[in-house]
Amino acid sequence: MSPHQITIRVYYEDTDFSGLVYHASYLRFLERGRTELLRAAGIDQSALHAGGEGLFFAVRRMTIDWLMPARMDDVITVETRTAAVRGASILVAQRILRGEQVLLTADVRVAALIGGRPARLPDGLRAILEGRAPA
């Protein structure tokens, strides 16, 4: 799957007292990137959830390298791509950029769950996440 990009403006609420983006705000930016990647691929998370009875995604592990800070009023880009698809998990590679400058990189392992337990990704969903046409 090719990288997906969304643009976000940094607001006062995203920063700490110094005007720099607070570290936890980056987690929200990354979550938006993963959500929009799925939406752009035609994956309806509400339908997957099936009223609480279906498939959910949960972050299992996240490795983040903060390289440079973003500041209030910056326009940043969250770039998200599927790096690997496993039986019941997805590895997502993400970057946050200001122009061409990389501010942050993240590798995120997302687990697929049904009823709170790991669940194999359905074949059609797997194909979409791997950048193939579903069968």
pTM, two decimals, is: 0.92
Cβ neighbors of 101 (< 8 A, separation 6 or more) are: 68
Name the pLDDT band for 107 (thresholds 50, 70, 90): very high
Six token digits for residue 62:
């996240």
Name the catalytic one among 14, 16, 65, 123.
16
Q: Across the chain, what does the average pLDDT equal?
A: 93
Q: 87-102: per-residue pLDDT in tens?
A: 999 999 999 999 999 9
* Dist. CA 57–CA 118, nearest whole Å: 10
107 carries an active-site annotation: no
* Dist. CA 47–CA 62, nearest whole Å: 26
- Give the pLDDT mean for 66-72: 97
* Dist. CA 56–CA 8, nearest whole Å: 25
Name the pLDDT band for 23 (thresholds 50, 70, 90): very high
Residue 65 near residue 81 (C-beta atoms within 8 A): no
